[in-house]
Amino acid sequence: MTTIDPAAVFRQEAAELFEVLEAALLDLGQNPDDRELVDSAFRALHTIKGSGAMFGFDKVASFTHEFETAFERVRKGEIKPTQDLVSVALAAKDFIRALIETPDDTDAIIGEAILADLSRFVSPTEAVEAPVSSPVSALAPVSERRQVGWHLRFEFDSQILRNGSNPLDLLDDLSKLGSCFAMPLTDGIPFLDELVPEDCYLKWDVSLHSDCDKAAIDDVFMFVQDEMTLALEPLFEGESARPVPVLELPDISIVPPEPPQSADEARSAPQAAAAPLPTERRSGEPRRAEDRGIATVRVQAERLDELMDRVGELVIAQARLTQLAASGNDISIKLIAEEIERLASSLRDTTMGARMVPIGSLFGRFRRLVHDLSRDLGKPVEFITIGEDTELDKTMIECLADPLVHLIRNAIDHGIESPSARVAAGKPEQGRIELAAQHCGAQVLVTVKDNGGGLNTARIRAKAEEQGLIAPGASASDQEIHQFLFHPGFSTAQTVSALSGRGVGMDVVKRTIENMRGSIDLSTVPGDGTTVTLRLPLTLAIIEGLLIRVGSGRYIIPLSAVEECVELTAEDERSRSRNFLNVRGNLVPFLRLREILEADGEPDQHQKTIIISTGETRVGLVADQIIGNHQTVIKSLSKLHSDVTIFSGATILGDGTAALILDVVQLVGLAQARSEKQMSEAA
């Protein structure tokens, strides 16, 4: 039986709340008047504080409470959140995360400094303004009056009873803080024929005589904050008069208002209790039933990985069963094999769907990165994301994080010019980074685009010549020169800084993307920016492949890279000096896989050419036979085969033998190198 660690549950919940808090704070920097963002940030803070106290993270609860207190004037609308204030609030969020994840390594002095900065920016005042209707306000200034408790007015979502919450239990919890007088407000109750028994129509006016602080009251409503509206005001001495209670509950007095004399009076007579509720605090809009979403269940990522492995083994076993059934004459076995194939295919799609995650969960992480880099480098940058709903395998999402960090940092550090340089070039002072994702067949395209100065091809070439990567004066296209940026240790930065200059980063990007069986396209327009496009498969677990034969060996080509299949003509076969196909008027270089793989025996009489592509580049692969489509469960190669670059993995066929998966990117690069060599020799 698996034991659940409460602290681990809290950390997982807190991680999600940190994302909400960070997103709200970053949006506040752009939209300081948006009250919904302020409420969202406070809801996240309050939940972290309450859950932290519940699970024994006392330092988290204490610091978060101080964070809330310092941010109180923002919530009240007395000050607007500036960029400096948002930056300090983000630092406070980071400190809370550190208190949760590495409490022993977190210095309290840092937290004190952050709170001091928060207090300095919000400049809190001590005076509290009394309600205008108070008879005491004319007798003594606020600073001389003694607070004796709190005055609360609150209204619940009509669905709260159906959700298992009981307002009387909450009133009982309030009474434990001190002497409590509660009056139900009945102006919202409909006539009997319109009344829904499961709905809550009452509002409440409560006087609480207690020396407790506001946080203690917030804790009472901790778990229903999203299902209620709460207005909270200090209760001063002399304001505590309330009607005499007529119904006693434990420590609670509930006083019903005097009923009207008729139905008409019920609709028209004004009631003191029916006064509009103040909007000083609104902890969340009531949620409609249709907005509650579909029920979800948390599943550990390791279990999804294990399930995917089992499905992969099932697909292999199903392929063996299909092959055995095809070799016999038993109709019943063939029918069972077809049914199992259908069920295995459905299970595979369902399992892969469960692993798919919207890429927006990854894109949201980079808003903070852009915010901090923009501040540190003194370059105002607008960050735009497109296609957040595009889904990708969770493993791909995890692998993409580091490459995108490097690309975005380079775009801001190297691509976006300084504000003065942009103004001199006739551009807006604010730069722009665009991060986008979209499906393209069986691939996902992720692009990082900036509107900076573009790549300096001459400087890149000079650096490449300096490092001996290209001979001085050698002919090379701009695209080939730009590829030197992905060479280990290559950098055109004039100085080494904390962000760049050591030549580390872009080579890591290329290596990671190629390990994911993807490719990188890079395009630039001088003076108008650079676009980096990552082409990625949807998943790393199971792919559709094209099974081919070369000699006596069988190989898999990812079907997403296959454009078409054509027959190798006799003329192409006789011409050994040139390796180009004429495909509808376009010359396409091709590779003879028999030569590359050193296949034994004689080639088939009618060889086939599979046209593959990565980006805009097309290459033909000549094979002896095209066997057909094959569901490919990818198995990684061992470390002993790490130097074999033209294979990206292996799979098990239906007869139990292995087939190697060809690396399309490496083969395309090999074909390009050979064709360029032939062209240079011909010239």
Q: Both ends of the chain: CA-CA distance in Å? A: 73
For the record, the structure tokens of 435 come out as: 């991060």
CA–CA dist 20, 15 (Å, integer):
9
Eight-state DSSP code of residue 414: I
* Sign of the CA dihedral with 246 first, then 250, 251, and 256 last: negative
Residue with tokens 């950390």, as numbered in its chain: 11
Which of these, 510, 506, 476, 473, lies nearest to 492 by C-alpha position? Answer: 506
What value, to the nearest 5°, has the Cα angle with vertex 667 and ends 562 and 640?
120
Pairing of strands 617-623, 586-592: parallel
Rounded Cα distance, 654 and 542, in Å: 15
Q: How many CB atoms lie within 10 A of CB 337?
A: 21
Give which of 385, 373, 383, 380 is closest to 430, Cα–Cα. 380
Choose, from 65, 66, 391, 410, the residue flagged as catalytic: 410
Would residue 628 be called left, alpha or beta, if left means φ above 0 and alpha means ψ between -120 and 50 degrees?
A: left
| DSSP state letter for 592 | E
Catalytic residue among 22, 46, 151, 451: 46
Question: 37 by DSSP, 3-state: which?
Answer: helix
Tokens of 311: 């499905």
Q: Is 65 a catalytic residue?
A: no
On the 0-12 / 13-18 / 19+ scale of CB atoms within 10 A, 267 is exposed
Residue for token digits 């551009």? 427
Tokens of residue 205, six digits: 């006016």
From the list 390, 442, 387, 453, the residue with the least C-alpha distance to 417 is 453
Q: Using CA atoms, how far apart are residues 683 and 671, in angstroms rounded to an integer? A: 18
Q: Catalytic: which of 22, 66, 68, 417?
A: 68
Count CA atoms closer than 13 A to 529's CA, side-chain side.
Answer: 18
Helix axis angle, 331-355 relative to 301-326, nearest 10°? 160
Neighbouring CB atoms inside 10 A of 173's CB total 15
**Cα 269 to Cα 272: distance, rounded to the nearest angstrom:** 10
Residue pair 446/402 in contact by the 8 Å Cβ criterion: no
Tokens 């094979």 belong to residue: 623
Question: Interior CA angle at 675 toward 672 and 678, to 5°?
Answer: 150
Q: Is 209 helix (H, G, I), strand (E, B) or coil?
A: strand
Q: Is 46 one of the annotated active-site residues of the chain? A: yes
The contacts of residue 522 (CB under 8 Å, 6+ apart) are 479, 482, 483, 485, 530, 531, 532, 533
What are the strands of the beta sheet with 658-662, ordered from one edge?
Answer: 625-633, 542-550, 553-558, 658-662, 647-652
Residue at token pair 């032939």: 678
At a CB cut-off of 8 Å and minimum separation 6, what does 586 contact?
Answer: 618
| Residues taking part in catalysis | 46, 68, 410
